[in-house]
Structure 1
Amino acid sequence: MPTIKLITSINAPVEVCFDLARSIDLHKTSMQHTGEKAVAGITDGLIGLNETVTWRARHFGIAMEMTSKITELRYAISFTDEQVKGPFKKLKHLHTFQQSGKYTIMTDYFEFESPLGFLGRLADKLMMKAYLTQLLLKRNKTIKETAENAKNL
């Protein structure tokens, strides 16, 4: 199963980074280029343990919906969201946060598997891993910029 691991260093307190990573509003901002909207469940504010959100977006020119649920949450340490309905055979995203001096080290562990057996595995290798990595990098850049600029408010 493909796994993406990203580490982002953010010059902001761990609590700020943790809450921004759970922010539905910030997620919508970071994914504007896909037209992503929260259409059911928690549609704004912070998502919490056992809560769901259904996202509607356009990827590869195709309108899609995906519902994810926060299955684990330890405040300011980690949370996990998992697809409960949507286009993937499996999708699990663990977010961890560690304070290191004035920096927060935010780490993403993103596991996914496309449907369709061999064809899905081929698509994962040829395009999905790179595409999803770029989405996560864009999202993390938005979290980083927002957290670091929040100190100046």
Structure 2
Amino acid sequence: MSKVYSIKTIQKIPISLDAAWDFFSSPDNLQKITPNDLGFKIISKHHGNKMYAGQIIEYKVSPILSIPIYWMTEITHVEDKKYFIDEQRFGPYSLWHHQHHFKEIAGGVEMTDIVHYKLPLWFLGDVANAILVKNQLKKIFDHRFKKVEELFGTM
């Protein structure tokens, strides 16, 4: 059986909690902080402009050899200006649980992302994680970190 893996990133952003929440709780802004080579595109027609519990968002993403993959997430929990959680309903993972936390700090906001994920195919999922997935997810979160710095500055 394959393992459950996790990633945690923390970023301090020199903007108000309101500005951080407005930006990160808008599904349309996700594409702005996602690497272009992933071919990320929101395809859902009725996802709304702000996060809410029960919201379904559909994507196409091309992580390997430009082959498009369908991905559907549900926003399962939202506490205004504190956190929201998205969980994969259909897509490449056996488990995808992504927490987005926001905390006001002196001079800005501390944003914490925590992802728990599991790959299909038992031990082959573990091999795929070691060879490809872990590094690709690190690259995606490193890219997001840099894009957020470009958009809002550094602390």
Q: TM-score, normalised by structure 1?
A: 0.88
Structure 1 residues 7-22: aligned runs within 5 Å: 7-22=10-25
Change beyond 3 A, Cα 1:71–1:34:
same
Structure 1 residues 52-67: aligned runs within 5 Å: 52-61=56-65, 62-67=67-72
Question: Counterparts of 2:84 and 2:92 in 1: how far apart (Å)?
Answer: 22
Residue 36 of structure 1 deviates from its aligned partner by 1.1
Question: Counterparts of 2:97 and 2:50 in 1: how far apart (Å)?
Answer: 19
Of 16-25 and 109-118, more deviation after overlay is shown by: 16-25
Structure 2: gaps (5+ residues) = none
SS at match of 2:143: helix
Contact 2:52 2:77 in 1 (8 A): no
Change beyond 3 A, Cα 1:94–1:79:
same
Residue 67 of structure 1 deviates from its aligned partner by 0.3
Question: Counterparts of 2:152 and 2:78 in 1: how far apart (Å)?
Answer: 20
Structure 1: gaps (5+ residues) = none
Tell me the C-alpha RMSD between the 2 structures.
1.9
Aligned residues: 149
Aligned to 1:105: 110
Q: Percent identity?
A: 23
Aligned to 2:86: 81
Deviations 1:29-77 (A, max 9, x none): 2233322111115456323221011110211112101000110111111
Segments of 4+ moved more than 4 angstroms:
41-44
Contact 2:75 2:87 in 1 (8 A): yes
- 2:95 pairs with one of 90, 97, 100: 90
Query: Does 2:129 correspond to 1:124?
Result: yes
Q: TM-score, normalised by structure 2?
A: 0.86
